[in-house]
Structure 1
Amino acid sequence: MVLTEAQKRANEKWHRKNRKRANYIAMRSSARSFIRKKSTITDLDELEKIIKNRRNELDN
């Protein structure tokens, strides 16, 4: 997909103004990609424990 110069500038401006959200989206994307493409059974077992603990933290 080819972006116009105006769209590139708009994207850069949004990224600067929304740095935390952009970082959140990038980290979430990386995590999902890792789980789908690279993870092993051992990785998934560990991630399930981490997710369970995180859910308990957020519930309390």
Structure 2
Amino acid sequence: MTIENNAGRPQKDADEKVSQNEANNNWRKKNKEYTKYLNYRSTARSFIRNLATSDDLDELQNLIDERRETI
């Protein structure tokens, strides 16, 4: 069962939300390493886009260059 919100888009009812949350949690438990990777990647991108100074970017570029040599 769906409920119309003010924007005219159907909303999930409470049971569907609970089921989806459980499915998401189960996926995260089964994929802990990949979830960790995604979280770190997201944090790094956010830092670079929103907070990094020019000096930070220079240091990160050096670290990236070093990492590329090892993989």
Is this a same-fold pair by TM over 0.5? yes
Q: Tell me which amino acid in the other structure corresponds to 1:55.
A: R
The two structures have a TM-score, normalised by structure 2, of 0.77
Which structure would you say has the larger Rg?
2
Listed one character per residue, the Cα deviations across residues 11-42 of structure 1 (whole Å, up to 9, x for unaligned) are: 00000000000000000000000000000000
Q: Which has the higher helix share?
A: 1
Query: Which structure 2 residue ranges, 5 or more long, are not aligned?
Result: 1-10
Structure 1 residue runs of 4+, over 4 Å off?
Answer: none
What value does the CA root-mean-square deviation take over the aligned residues? 1.6
The two structures have a TM-score, normalised by structure 1, of 0.91
- Sequence identity, in percent? 41
The structure 2 residue matched to 1:47, chosen from 37, 60, 69, is 60
Query: Which structure 1 residue ranges, 5 or more long, are not aligned?
Result: none
Partner Cα separation in structure 2 for residue 40 and residue 21 of structure 1: 29
